[in-house]
Amino acid sequence: MNWTEMRRRFHLPDGVIYLDGNSLGPLPVAAAERVRRTIEDEWGQLLIRGWNTGADGEGWMGWPTRLGDRIGRLIGAPEGSVVVGDTLSIKVFQVLDAALKMRPDRRVILSDSGNFPTDLYMAEGLIATLGQGHELRVVAPEDVATAIDEAVAVTLLTQVDYRTGRMHDMAALTALAHDHGALAIWDLAHSAGAHEVDVTAANADFAIGCTYKYLNAGPGAPAFVHVRPDLQDRIAPALSGWLGHAAPFAFDPSYRPGPGIERMRVGTPPVLQLAALDAALDIWDDVDMPALRARSLELSGRFFDGVSELCPSLMPASPADQTRGSQVSFRHDQGYAVMQALIARGVIGDFRAPDILRFGFTPLFIGESEVDAAVSHLAQVLTTREWDQPQFLARKAVT
């Protein structure tokens, strides 16, 4: 792949080394023009007619499933099994409720302490709402396999740990869940667009994820949900929104679930955000995922080795081998201040409580020179204690 050409497809500010695409992807150059065209030429000129004739004549209303199919190709999902819309938290609630209804004789939701907190919060909220005695059982990531038993209704796991980058074996844990009669939900927020994913080969029951990280659709971009095709028509949606209805514009007084993946739609599609996602996904038409993964491991390994050599005060939090996603994390008791000092130098990563410095490696816009420069800056920040200043110690709202 031509990595130099790929980099030109993103807007990156001069003087910035961006190692936070795992939290918010940078702006694809084509996305700004695509959103402008949607605003001015479609919303501006077509007005409400855009629902039928916008999106280059295909209609805004069909964007969630069309874009779902494009994302499906990145996660190994067949056509008609992915739809885009709403937020990741909403999608967690939807699939978790659906899974529990399919296992009415079981009461345990199994997750791990490396899961993203919103997944756990949504599970807690659903349990309280149902009031049927369900239990959220949270174990250490390395203990998931031994914790799956006949009491478990569903496993709720994030494939790549958002803090450490540790990667679960999706196929093995899904098979183990099925062997014990449980269903498997996979959160792909730190997987989709970062490395090869194959939900079909893994036989995953449900998968969810966001589009504003590695897929570069912009802040607040909508989530996606995948449901294994043979399960789709068995779902009785708890969030029975009007666009998940079998005939939304019949305006029936009672809900009838739509066919297949359509029933996982809830609210009105966010048209401007979908326009950005549409443009961002054009980039992925030209990406070779095995090459991307190999390059990601090469760059993140280069950073891991460099930091390990030059920054002895940092403790590795990520696996040193290939069992990590597209990020590297280190621990430091003043991790927040260290990261703020680094950002002030133009090297942007992020911090995750209590002590994690997190760095994402996206080969589409990062190369060896950026990796080496980031290592050098980090070493200087630590060696000189540059981080030990009031402006870096004071925590902001978003860390």
Active-site residue set: 116, 187, 212-213, 358
Q: At what angle do helices 368-383 and 289-310 cross, to 10 degrees?
A: 30
Q: Are strands 82-84 and 108-112 parallel, antiparallel or unpaired?
A: unpaired
**With contact defined as beta carbons under 8 Å apart, do 42 and 50 qualify?**
yes
Q: Which residue has the tokens 């430091």?
A: 332
Identify any residues that bridge with 328 across adjacent strands, giving them in sequence order: 359
Question: Residue 27 — φ and ψ, nearest 5°?
Answer: -75, 120
* CA–CA distance, 23 with 370 (Å, rounded to integer): 18
* CA–CA distance, 60 with 270 (Å, rounded to integer): 9
Q: Which residue has the tokens 């504003």?
A: 212
Q: Which residue has the tokens 């390395």?
A: 142
CA angle 60, 63, 64 (to 5 degrees): 130
Question: Residue 188 — φ and ψ, nearest 5°?
Answer: -105, 25
DSSP character for 253? S
* DSSP H or E run through 101: helix 88-102
Q: Which residues have CB under 8 Å from 340's CB, separation 6+?
A: 351, 387, 391, 392, 393
